[in-house]
Structure formats: C-alpha cells, structure tokens
C-alpha cells in the first residue's frame, strides 16, 4: 500500500467486484452429486461433486449451444453431461465425449474454476487462475473449530454486495432497525475506533455498564441461569477484503475485565458473514452465528440461528428498499457521516483491489 | 469457451521486425485496443495475398502484461498459402488488421505434471505456457524438437530460462525425438500440450491412445496448415453443381469452391468442426487428411473429407518429387 489516490470513487453507490479473490459460492452441504447452478460475480456456475467428493465449478453454459450444464447429470468419476445433446465434460471442463462423432473437437472445453473447500464453505476463484492460492482464503475458522458451535443460512439479497458491507461495518443501525432484539441507544452514543491495514478494516466499539438487550440477556441466562444486572458489551467488526466480515460480539457481567481480556464472566459469539456478489444489484449473503459456550446444545444453536434470522430479515428489508431507492434516484449522490469510517475504508480497499486488477473504471 | 472467442478486430502497428532463426521473422505489434493475452492464445491477422484479403492465425509468443505489445514469430513456408510471405514483408510503421487475443488452447492451472511438446515453429504456441508453468513452479518438462539448430527459434533463450526442464531433440545432430519414449514418461495425471507438424502430432496421439492415457489430457492446437504431404495443385469436380475447379497449392479446396461460386457450409476453417464435410464420389490420387475431426478409421475409408484443410495429392510418399507425372490428382465430390 504505497500509492494514495487523490481521485476517489469510494462514494460510488455501486462498486464493481474484484475477481482475483476467493468468493463463497455455496455451503459445503449444498454441493452434491446433483449439479446446482449459482451465479457468482456475474458468472453463472454449475457446481457439483465428483465421486471422490471433490467440489467442482464449471461455467454453466455448454460449449456447444450454451445449454446450462447445471440441468445435466453427473457421470463416472468426475464428469457432467450436457442435458441437451449429451456432450460430456470432465471436472477440468474438457470434453470427453461427443456423442454424434468418432472424435472430440479439441476446442470443446468449458471454463473450470479453481475451488477450495474451507470453513464449511465452497470457495471459487473467477479471476486469473495462476493467482488462486488457497492460502488467500480468508480466516473464518470459528465456523469449523471444535471450540465453537453454531449454524447459519443464506440470504439472497436484492442489492449490491457493497451495501451489505456498509451495513455490517456500521452497527449504529441496530438501534433503529433491530430495536426489539439487539438495539439499544448506547450503540450510537458510544465511541468507536477504526483501524486498517492492506487487507483488513476493524471497527471496535465497547459499551460499559449497560443493560443487556433481550438477545444478549437470553444468552447470558443460557450460560448463567437467572442472570440479572448490568453488562459490558463489545462489537469488534473485522473486514477481510473483499467480502468477509467477522464480528466478535458479546457481553460479560459489568466490571469483570472483558476489555482487559478476561471474558470468562460472559458469553461470546462470532457473526460470520461472507457476502458474494451475484450481479451489480444482487448478492448471496452467507452468515452464521457461532458461540463458545454450551457447545453441545442443539436447542441453543437452533434458537440463535432463528434469532439472527429474524434480525437479518430486518436488514434484508432495508437493503432491498435502499437499492430500490438508489435505482429510483440515479441523479442523487451518497454522502457520508463520521460513522461510515469503517465502510469507507472497506470501499477504499476494494477500490485498490479493483485497481490492481486493472478493472477500476474511474467515476463509474 | 465461446465467450472468450468473440473476434474483436483492431489495428496493429508494427514496431519491430527481426529475423531470429532461419526463415523465422519475429514481429512486434502494438494493438490499438490492448487486451491481456492468456497463455495459449493467438491472434487472427488479415493478410493480403496477391491482392485478396485472407485470415491467418498466429500464436502469441510474448506479450506485455497489459497486452500493449504482442509478438508473433512466423516461419516463411515456401509452399504455404502465402500468409507467411506477407508477414515477412512487414516493416516498422506498417499497420494491419488483427483481432484481440483469442483462446482455443487454454493452459489448465493445477495439473500434477505437464509435458509441453513443440515441433519446429510450433514452439511459438508453447513459449508463453512454459513461462507460466515456470513462474508457478509447476512440475513440467518442455520438449523442443527441430531439424537443426539454425532453424530453431528461441532455442538459446529457452535453454537459459528453463535449464534442465528443457529437453532438446535435433534431427541433424542424431538426437531425434522418440515419441513412444516421451509418451511412456506420462502418467495418468500428466497433461501433454503440443503444437507442431501433423506427423508429430499424429504420432503422439497414436502413442497416447495406445497407452490408454486419458484423451482429454492430451491438448493440441492445430491451425490446419500442415499435412502429411506437401500441397499440390489438384482438381475438384462437383457434378451436381456442374463445377470443375483447379485448386492451387496456395488455396484450400473450400476457398477454391467458394471462388467458383459454390455455396459452401463451414465454421472453424481449420479442420475441427466437420461442418465443411464433402462426400467423395471418386478419387484419382490420395487424400491428405489434415483435419482432427475424422477418426483414423474414417480417414482410411476415404468417403468424406474436411475440405477446409484436407487436400488431394498424387504422391503416396509425401515428397513432391514423387508426384505423378501424369497430372494432378482429381477428386469428385458431392456437397451438402
Ligand atoms: S448444448 Fe450442450 S451438447 Fe448441445
Ligand atoms: S470448417 Fe470446420 S472442419 Fe472445415
Ligand atoms: Fe443489521
């Protein structure tokens, strides 16, 4: 990170999406021997598993007449057959059989994209395959660590992925949108600290000696039955470019040293978010809520998932309405508040990534 | 990969020309609408031959990362259809119509092991790929076969760059390539990419199939411009159209029929798709099948041919000197 741009497009309402990155394409459980279709970063993909269980991502359009391969069926060790005229491809996207002729046209291939399975997700790389280093998959280890338990869902959000990132980087909206569950006025009153480096942005907010909102009171009582009293609460939001946001959230009994590092007198959760652009105006929003207490309670897992489902439903409605308003007012600009610092750094990092790919269209 | 193969035409300005091996001219072009060239990609170029325009494909040998400069290296082939003479006559400052990079020969990243095989001027298709594999620290062997050192473009640079990964075979030095030995070194997970004369590629295909290796792991690019025999003049007759056409050594049968007014179907024009198929009714001579559409069974049957690349010849041995003195080969066909 050396060069500083003077001419910035960070306030663009809609940002383009980087391609030389790993995006979550699906939950691991979604990808099976039966092919499925999913559009990632503008590219329709056919996802399936080989007989050996390896996830495969091919362009979802047959070389011949572009019929969607996701409507086809898997064959043999690693093959998929086009549902239209029966051309068969292997997992590298190479044609292995052309039913109506004795040879194979050497040009008959469909793009096969690099895939990595990690942290319960299937990740794909749509950009330059020579750069697809699995080590670049962002850390979401709470999703599959034995020290954490939980579950999540996928929201198909009708908005640009950037709007979801904005939403998660500034949680003062909780006071207004999520007033019945996690919102409280201390959120917008408390101070926050923003830091960043080349690939991450962090927004930390601490609230001391406050009443626990309903969601957190329930969680405290799950761990400390009958709990009453004030709590210290934190939200530490970490963005990992370009599309992952992990939020370290929790409360402890007030004054028991959480800020200094002792969280033993409280409950801790991680909201894991991976936001995958689908098109300019839609995205796949994969989320999970992980906790580090009462790990074996499926009841709590289900309750938390359903609770967060309700909370995120409130965000989804707002995001849809916001995108509609953006579309309906093409001549209006975005303006920024001090609370947008986290979101603005996110936009800056994405902008730099696009620039490094040579795909930043100034003023677009 | 249809989507990456939309022809976008632009102007290319010649900025440098240099002879880099016997009859091989390296031409540096600056495209007016630069686009990054993937390994294995080529450009189509409008060449003018005896006053008429024609399209030729040339591999991109080197390219600037942002695509602002592209290099093609072209062998002057005396018996070719004339495109190479046009390229060899180019001078700095000349402008010509070229496409943005097109991709029919993509390199797959992530194979266990690679063999790259270049025969003669086929080296131009492999250089970029080898460079990428080297950068990726992939497990690869780069085999370069040629007739003699003087004819082998880029030989020294490649030796410097690829060191022990480069294996060189030179006919005149008695170290000719043994195709079976090469293929014997391939495992089930090896991908072999090749570009070279049709005899070499046919030999590799045969050996590859005999060893039961996975056919999709054998990758090759052909522009349909090399045959088992040297091109000769021959006659094609189409009784149903009342046509009798002389096909010169520098023209394809498809072009000659089109020139004569026949409404011919075609797509790739390089022997891959089979759309230009004609049925052979009668033959005086032999067919030099240059396509990759027909199986060897079908080629031996001599019932059909891909007229965009395949030719009729009198010679059975492949040498022009063996051409029958009694006149050109004659093929009588039916078209669709
Ligand atoms: S569209 Fe797939 S085989 Fe024809
Ligand atoms: S036009 Fe495709 S094989 Fe002749
Ligand atoms: Fe929210």
What is the predicted pLDDT for the residue at A265?
97
Query: Where in B124-197 does DSSP place strands (E)?
Result: 140-146, 166-170, 190-195
Please state whether A109 falls in left (phi above 0), alpha (psi between -120 and 50) or beta: beta
Nearest CA in chain B to A58: B1
Domain count, chain B: 3
Chain B: residue whose CA lies nearest to A97: B216
Query: Count H helices, E strands: chain B?
Result: 7, 20
CB within 8 Å: A101 and B274: yes
Q: Which parts of A257-338 fold into alpha helices (H)? A: 298-328
Q: Which two tokens stand for residue B24?
A: 């091989």
Same domain for B95 and B124?
A: no
Q: Assess A96–B contact: CB distance below 8 Å, yes or no.
A: yes
> Does any domain span residue B310?
yes
**In this predicted structure, what is the pLDDT of residue A362?**
52
Using an 8 Å Cβ cutoff, are B64 and B102 in contact?
A: no
Element (H, E) at A252: strand A244-253
Which of left, alpha, beta for B40 (phi over 0: left; psi -120 to 50: alpha)? left
pLDDT of residue B77: 79
Write the residue with the smallest CA distance to atom 3 of ligand 1: A85
- Check whether residue B302 and residue B212 sit in a common domain: no
pLDDT in the model for residue A285: 97
Share of chain B above pLDDT 70, in %: 95
Tens digits of per-residue pLDDT, B15-49?
999 999 999 999 999 999 999 899 999 999 999 88
Question: Cβ(B267) to ligand 2 under 6 A?
Answer: yes
Question: Domain check: are B23 and B74 in the same one?
Answer: yes
Question: pLDDT class for B113, splitting at 50, 70, 90?
Answer: very high
Q: For residue B4, is it within any domain?
A: no
Task: Examine the pLDDT at A94 and tell me if it is beyond 70.
Answer: yes
Q: Hey, how many other C-beta atoms are within 10 angstroms of the C-beta on A50?
A: 17
DSSP A202: E
B70 in a structural domain: yes
Segment B47-64 mean pLDDT: 89
| Mean pLDDT, rounded, for B268-284 | 94
User: Which whole number is the average pLDDT over A333-344?
Assistant: 89
Residue B256 resides in a domain: yes
CA dist B113 and B96 (Å) reads: 39
Of residues A95, A103, A129, nearest to B216 (C-beta): A95
Verify that B155 and B198 share a domain, yes or no.
Answer: yes
Check whether residue B264 and residue B306 sit in a common domain: yes
Average pLDDT over residues B104-114: 92
B139 shares a domain with B95: no
Residue A310 · residue A317 · CB < 8 Å = no
Q: Sort out which chain B residues have CB atoms less than 8 A from A61's CB and list them.
A: 2-3
CB contact at 8 A, B270 and B230: no
B167 belongs to a structural domain: yes
pTM: 0.90
Ligand nearest to the CA of A245: 3
Residue-level pLDDT at B227: 84
Pairing of strands A73-75, A79-81: antiparallel
**H or E stretch at B243:** strand B243-247
**Beta-strand relationship, B277-284 and B304-306:** antiparallel
Domain CATH for B138: 3.40.50.80
| B258 and B200 co-located in one domain | no
Give the model's pLDDT for residue A3. Answer: 44
- Cβ-Cβ contacts under 8 Å, A94 against chain B: 216-217
**Final residue belonging to a domain, choices B53, B72, B103:** B103
Which of B221, B248, B282 delimits the end of a domain? B221
Mutate to test the pocket of ligand 1, among A35, A60, A67 (most ligand atoms within 8 A of CB): A67
Shared domain for B269 and B314, answered yes or no, is yes
Residue with tokens 């995108």: A323
Read off the pLDDT of residues B207-246 as tens digits, 9 standing for 90 and up. Answer: 999 999 999 999 998 777 778 888 889 999 999 999 999 9
For position B327, what pLDDT does the model report?
A: 76
| Percent over 90 (pLDDT), chain B | 78
Ligand 1 atom nearest residue A86's Cα: 3
B182 token code pair:
């090469």
- The CATH number linked to B239 is 3.10.20.30
B1 and A109 Cβ atoms separated by less than 8 Å = yes
Q: Mean pLDDT throughout B254-266?
A: 96
- Compute and round to an integer the Cα radius of gyration of chain A: 22
pLDDT tens-digit series, residues B163-212: 999 999 999 999 999 999 999 999 999 999 999 998 899 999 999 999 99
- Whole-complex ipTM: 0.87
Check if the beta carbon of residue A141 is closer than 8 Å to that of residue A147. Answer: no
Cβ–Cβ < 8 Å for A58, A80: yes
Question: Ligand 1 test: best mutation among A68, A71, A87, A89, most atoms within 8 Å of CB?
Answer: A87
- B40 phi and psi, to 5 degrees? 90, -5
B51 confidence band (pLDDT: 50, 70, 90):
confident
In a domain, B72, yes or no: yes
| Chain segment A242-300, per-residue pLDDT in tens | 999 999 999 999 999 999 999 999 999 999 999 999 999 999 999 999 999 999 999 99
Residues B283, B306 share a domain: yes
**Using one digit for the tens of pLDDT, what is the confidence trace for A115-172?**
999 999 999 999 999 999 999 999 999 999 999 999 999 999 999 999 999 999 988 8
Interface membership of A109 toward B (CB under 8 Å): yes
**pLDDT on residue B80:** 66
Provide the mean pLDDT of chain B: 92
- 3-class SS of residue B124: helix
- Cβ distance A103 to B292 less than 8 Å, yes or no, reads yes
**Cβ-contact A112, A45 below 8 angstroms:** no
Summarize chain B as % helix, strand, coil (round to 5).
Answer: 25, 35, 40
Nearest CB among B132, B216, B295 relative to A103 is that of: B295
Task: Give the pLDDT confidence of B127-159 residue by residue, as tens digits.
Answer: 999 999 999 999 999 999 999 999 999 999 999
Query: How far apart (Å, rounded) are the C-alpha atoms in residues A220 and A253?
Result: 9
Alpha-carbon distance A324 to nearest alpha carbon in chain B (angstroms)? 31
pLDDT at A112 over 90: yes
A145 CA → ligand 3 middle, Å: 25
Given this model, what pLDDT does residue A122 score? 98
State pLDDT tens for residues A180-227: 888 778 877 888 999 999 999 999 999 999 999 999 999 999 999 999
B274 lines ligand 2 (CB under 6 A): yes
pLDDT score at B81: 66
Residue in this structure with the two tokens 């996701």, named with its chain if needed: A70
What CATH number is attached to the domain comprising B75? 2.40.30.10
End-to-end CA distance of chain B: 28
Q: CB distance from B222 to chain A under 8 Å?
A: yes
Examine residue B2 and state whether it is found in any structural domain, yes or no.
Answer: no
> Residue B294: its chain A contacts at CB < 8 A?
102-103
Q: How far is the CA of B306 from the centre of ligand 2 (A)?
A: 6
**Would the pLDDT of B1 be above 70?**
no
> Residue A8: its pLDDT value, please?
56
Range in A165-179, A232-246, B133-147, B250-264 with the lowest mean pLDDT: A165-179
pLDDT at A1: 39
Coil/strand/helix, residue A215: helix
Shared-domain flag, residues B245 and B307: yes
pLDDT, tens digit, for every residue of A26-80?
999 999 999 999 999 999 999 999 999 999 999 999 999 999 999 999 999 999 9
Question: What domains lie within chain A, and their CATH numbers?
Answer: 21-126 (2.102.10.10), 137-356 (3.90.380.10)
pLDDT at A175: 84
A132 touches chain B (CB under 8 A): yes
**Per the domain annotation, does B108 fall within a domain?**
no
Q: Which of A62, A70, A93, A104 for mutating ligand 1's site (highest number of atoms within 8 Å of CB)?
A: A62
Q: Count the Cβ atoms, other than its own, within 10 Å of residue A296.
A: 8
Domain that holds residue B124: 113-221
Residues B98 and B147 both lie in one domain: no
Under 8 Å between Cβ of B331 and B283: yes
pLDDT at res. B65: 86
Q: Which of B195, B221, B247 is the last residue of a domain?
A: B221
- Report the chain A residue with the minimal C-alpha distance to residue B272: A105
Instruction: Please check whether residues B119 and B185 belong to one and the same domain.
Output: yes
Mean local confidence (pLDDT), B93-108: 94
pLDDT single digits (tens) B296-311: 899 999 999 999 999 9
Quick check: A11 and A336 in contact, CB under 8 A? yes
Q: Which of A45, A103, A134 to mutate to test the interface with B (most CBs of B within 10 A)?
A: A103
């Amino acid at each position: 990170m050396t060069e500083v741009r003077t001419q910035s497009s960070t306030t663009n309402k809609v940002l383009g999406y980087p391609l030389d990155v790993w995006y979550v394409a699906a939950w691991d459980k979604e990808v099976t021997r039966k092919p499925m279709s999913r559009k990632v970063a503008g590219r329709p993909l056919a996802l399936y598993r080989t007989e050996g269980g390896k996830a495969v991502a091919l362009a979802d359009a047959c070389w011949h007449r572009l019929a969607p391969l996701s409507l086809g069926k898997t064959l043999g060790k690693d093959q998929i057959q086009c549902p239209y005229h029966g051309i068969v491809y292997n997992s590298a996207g190479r044609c292995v059989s052309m039913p109506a002729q004795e040879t194979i046209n050497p040009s008959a291939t469909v793009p096969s994209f690099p895939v990595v399975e990690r942290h319960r997700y299937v990740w794909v790389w749509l950009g330059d395959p020579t750069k697809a280093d699995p080590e670049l998959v962002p850390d979401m280890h709470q999703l599959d660590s034995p020290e954490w338990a939980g579950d999540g869902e996928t929201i198909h959000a009708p908005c640009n992925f950037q709007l979801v990132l904005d939403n998660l980087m500034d949680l003062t909206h909780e006071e207004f949108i999520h007033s019945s569950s996690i919102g409280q006025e201390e959120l917008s009153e408390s101070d926050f600290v923003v830091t960043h480096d080349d690939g991450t942005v962090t927004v930390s907010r601490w609230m001391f000696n406050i009443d626990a909102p309903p969601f957190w009171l329930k969680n405290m009582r799950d761990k400390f039955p009958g709990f009453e009293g004030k709590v210290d609460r934190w939200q530490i939001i970490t963005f990992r470019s370009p599309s992952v946001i992990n939020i370290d959230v929790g409360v402890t009994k007030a004054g028991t040293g959480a800020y200094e590092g002792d969280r033993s007198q409280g409950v801790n959760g991680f909201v894991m978010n991976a936001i995958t652009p689908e098109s300019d105006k839609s995205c796949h929003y994969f989320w999970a809520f992980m906790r580090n207490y009462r790990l074996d309670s499926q009841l709590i897992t289900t309750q938390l998932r359903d609770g967060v489902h309700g909370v995120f439903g409130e965000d989804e409605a707002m995001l849809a309405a916001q995108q509609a308003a953006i579309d309906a007012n093409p001549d209006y600009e975005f303006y920024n508040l001090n609370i947008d610092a986290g979101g603005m750094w996110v936009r800056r990092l994405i902008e730099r990534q696009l620039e490094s790919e040579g795909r930043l269209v100034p003023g677009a | 990969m249809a989507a990456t193969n939309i022809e976008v035409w632009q102007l290319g300005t010649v900025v440098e020309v240099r002879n880099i091996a016997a009859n091989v001219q390296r031409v540096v072009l600056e495209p007016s609408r630069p686009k990054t060239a993937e390994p294995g990609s080529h450009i189509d170029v409008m060449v003018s031959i005896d006053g008429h325009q024609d399209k030729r494909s040339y591999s991109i040998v080197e390219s600037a990362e942002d695509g602002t400069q592209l290099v093609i290296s072209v062998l002057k082939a005396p018996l070719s259809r004339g495109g190479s003479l046009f390229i060899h006559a180019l001078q700095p400052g000349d402008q010509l119509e070229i496409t943005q990079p097109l991709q029919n020969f993509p390199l797959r990243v992530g194979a266990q092991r690679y063999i790259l095989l270049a025969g003669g001027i086929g080296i131009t298709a492999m250089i970029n790929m080898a460079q990428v594999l080297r950068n990726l620290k992939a497990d690869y062997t780069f085999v370069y076969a040629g007739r003699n050192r003087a004819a082998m473009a880029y030989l020294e640079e490649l030796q410097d760059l690829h060191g022990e990964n480069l294996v060189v075979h030179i006919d005149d030095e008695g170290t000719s390539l043994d195709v079976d030995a090469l293929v014997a070194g391939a495992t089930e997970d090896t991908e072999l990419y090749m570009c070279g004369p049709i005899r070499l590629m046919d030999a590799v295909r045969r050996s590859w199939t005999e060893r039961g290796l996975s056919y999709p792991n054998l990758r090759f690019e052909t522009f349909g411009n090399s045959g088992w025999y040297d091109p000769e003049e021959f006659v094609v007759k189409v009784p149903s159209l009342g046509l009798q056409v002389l096909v010169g050594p520098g023209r394809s049968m498809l072009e000659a029929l089109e020139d004569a007014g026949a409404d011919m179907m075609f797509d790739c024009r390089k022997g891959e798709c089979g759309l230009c198929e004609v049925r052979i009714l009668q033959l005086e001579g032999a067919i030099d099948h240059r396509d990759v559409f027909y199986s060897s069974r079908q080629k031996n049957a001599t019932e059909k041919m891909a007229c965009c690349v395949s030719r009729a010849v009198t010679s059975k041995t492949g040498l022009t000197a063996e051409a029958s003195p009694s006149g050109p080969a004659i093929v009588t066909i039916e078209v669709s």
